C-alpha cells in the first residue's frame, strides 16, 4: 500500500519559507538568499541536477541516494494554490515533478499538462478528495505532500501523514511560514527512523509510531 509522506527543507528556527517569498518581490527581505542557503545541499546533488537538467556533475553518496529514492518513490504530488502560483511563473517548461500534481484550490480550472510527464489537476473539494485522486494515479508508488506549510498542516490534522522527511539546515529566517503551526491537540505521534548528518543539513526521517 502506498505511503503518504512529507519531504521538505526547514530552517533552524522552524520556517519552511522565508517572509515575503513571492516571485513578484524577488528582493524583499533577501528571501532568495535565505531560501538558497536552506536548499544549497539539494542543488549540489548529482541526481537532482541531472533530473532537473541543471547540468552534469554534482555530489554523489548517501544524500544523493536519498534524493534519488525520494523522487523515484513518488507517484503523485499534492500542493496548495500559493505554491502552484509561485511555481507557475518560476518553473521551467518541463516542470520538476514528472508525476500528476493535485493542487488544492477554490478555483475551477482545466488540467494543465507540461512536457516530461507533469500534469496539474485542480481540486476544489478538499484535501481528502485530492488524496483520493492522487492515490488512484500513484498506484503502488507513494504520495508526496509537497507544500506549502498550510497544506501539510491540513494533512497532519487529518492524521493522514505516514512519514516526515525534513532537511534541517543551519540557517535562520527570523520570520516566514512556520511548518508546525495550527496543529490540533493531540497531534500525530512519530518516531525517529533515520538521521543523516552533513555540514549543510541534518536529514531527519520520522515514521508514524
Please report, for the domain that includes residue 61, its CATH number. 3.40.430.10
167, 42 in Cβ contact below 8 A?
yes
Residue 118 placed within a domain? no
Residue 171 placed within a domain? yes
What is the average pLDDT across 88-101? 90
C-alpha cell belonging to residue 181: 503551526
pLDDT-above-90 percentage for the chain: 80
Give the lowest-confidence range in 64-68, 92-96, 164-168.
Answer: 92-96
C-alpha cell belonging to residue 37: 542557503
Q: How confident is the model at residue 125 (pLDDT cuts 50, 70, 90)?
A: very high
What is the average pLDDT across 45-71? 92
What is the average pLDDT across 140-155? 96
Measure the CA–CA gap between 86 and 147, rounded to whole angstroms: 12
Residue 107 placed within a domain? no
pTM for this predicted structure: 0.94
Rounded (5°) CA angle 172-175-178: 95
144, 170 in Cβ contact below 8 A?
no
Centroid of chain to Cα 23: 18
Residue 112 placed within a domain? no
C-alpha cell belonging to residue 15: 520556517
Residue-level pLDDT at 135: 97
> Which position has the higher pLDDT, 1 or 172?
172
pLDDT at 30 over 90: no
170, 203 in Cβ contact below 8 A?
no
Number of structural domains in the chain = 1
pLDDT at 137 over 80: yes
Residue 109 placed within a domain? no
Nearest to 152 by CA among 78, 65, 75: 78
Average pLDDT, the chain: 93
What residue ranges in the chain does DSSP mark as E strands?
A: 4-11, 15-18, 74-80, 100-104, 112-113, 119-123, 142-147, 163-169, 176-178, 190-197, 202-208
Domain span at 204: 4-82+142-208
Assign 3-state DSSP to the chain and report helix, strand, coil percentages, each to 5: 30, 30, 40
Measure the CA–CA gap between 138 and 97, rounded to whole angstroms: 13
Buried (b) or exposed (e) across 143-154, using 16+ Cβ within 10 A? bbbbbbbbbbbb
Give the lowest-confidence range in 12-26, 67-81, 90-104.
Answer: 12-26
Beta bridge partners of 174: none
Residue 159 placed within a domain? yes
Residue 188 placed within a domain? yes
Give the lowest-confidence range in 52-61, 121-130, 151-160, 199-208.
Answer: 52-61
Measure the CA–CA gap between 19 and 35, rounded to whole angstroms: 10
Q: How confident is the model at residue 139 (pLDDT cuts 50, 70, 90)?
A: very high
Residue-level pLDDT at 134: 97
pLDDT at 23 over 90: no
What is the average pLDDT across 62-80? 97
Residue 108 placed within a domain? no
Amino acid at each position: 500500500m502506498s505511503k503518504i509522506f512529507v519531504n521538505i527543507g526547514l530552517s533552524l528556527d522552524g520556517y519552511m519559507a522565508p517572509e515575503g517569498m513571492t516571485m513578484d518581490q524577488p528582493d524583499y527581505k533577501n528571501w532568495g538568499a535565505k531560501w538558497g542557503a536552506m536548499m544549497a545541499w539539494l542543488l549540489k546533488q548529482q541526481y537532482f541536477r541531472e533530473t532537473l537538467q541543471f547540468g552534469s556533475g554534482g555530489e554523489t553518496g548517501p544524500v544523493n541516494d536519498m534524493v534519488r529514492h525520494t523522487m523515484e518513490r513518488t507517484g503523485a504530488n499534492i500542493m496548495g494554490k500559493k505554491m502552484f502560483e509561485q511555481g507557475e511563473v518560476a518553473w521551467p517548461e518541463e516542470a520538476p515533478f514528472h508525476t500528476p500534481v493535485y493542487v488544492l484550490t477554490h478555483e475551477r480550472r482545466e488540467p494543465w499538462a507540461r512536457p516530461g510527464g507533469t500534469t496539474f489537476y485542480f481540486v476544489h473539494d478538499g484535501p481528502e478528495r485530492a488524496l483520493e485522486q492522487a492515490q488512484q494515479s500513484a498506484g503502488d508508488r507513494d504520495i508526496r505532500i509537497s507544500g506549502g506549510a498550510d497544506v501539510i498542516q491540513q494533512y497532519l490534522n487529518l492524521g493522514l501523514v505516514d512519514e516526515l522527511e525534513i532537511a534541517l539546515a543551519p540557517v535562520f529566517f527570523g520570520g516566514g511560514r512556520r511548518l508546525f503551526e495550527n496543529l490540533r491537540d493531540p497531534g500525530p505521534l512519530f518516531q525517529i527512523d533515520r538521521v543523516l548528518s552533513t555540514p549543510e543539513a541534518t536529514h531527519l526521517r520520522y515514521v508514524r509510531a
